[in-house]
Amino acid sequence: MSTLASSRTNKVILVVEDEIELSRLFIEVLSGAGYTVVPAYSVTDALFAIADQPFDAAILDVELRDGAVFPVADRLARLGTPYLFASAVYLQAVPAAHKAVPFIAKPFEIDDLLSHVERALGCSRKAS
């Protein structure tokens, strides 16, 4: 196993996406890259997941069935957990507090997604 692949093995990624097929794609791609993936399908699910366990990074859709994902982004920011947005909404919909966060427009290339996740993990601010 390569050093990069083994460094991914212990990394847990929260994926907040309410489109089931897209969520499955995230899970398949990220699991295939060596990450452990925890899906959440709503703001409520994501907030419970964050309260239940720590994450190394998160991928957030902006518009979910129970509202915008920004309460989740706020909580992740307070915890120092790196995150990025992967959404079909326009970047302009993101509040000023989260404008510096990486934004991947849907549809996206898988390699771009993995590259953004690697960068997010590389700049993790969480204390050990």
Task: Give dist(CA 17, CA 64) in Å, integer.
Answer: 7
For 71, residues 6+ apart whose C-beta sits below 8 A from its C-beta are 43, 47
User: Phi and psi of 123, rounded to 5°?
Assistant: -110, 25
Residues of the chain above pLDDT 70, percent: 88
Which of the listed CATH numbers 3.10.580.20, 3.40.1190.20, 3.40.50.2000, 3.40.50.2300 matches domain 3-119?
3.40.50.2300
- Considering the entire predicted model, what is its pTM? 0.85
Task: Give dist(CA 2, CA 16) in Å, integer.
Answer: 28
Q: What is the pLDDT of residue 68?
A: 95
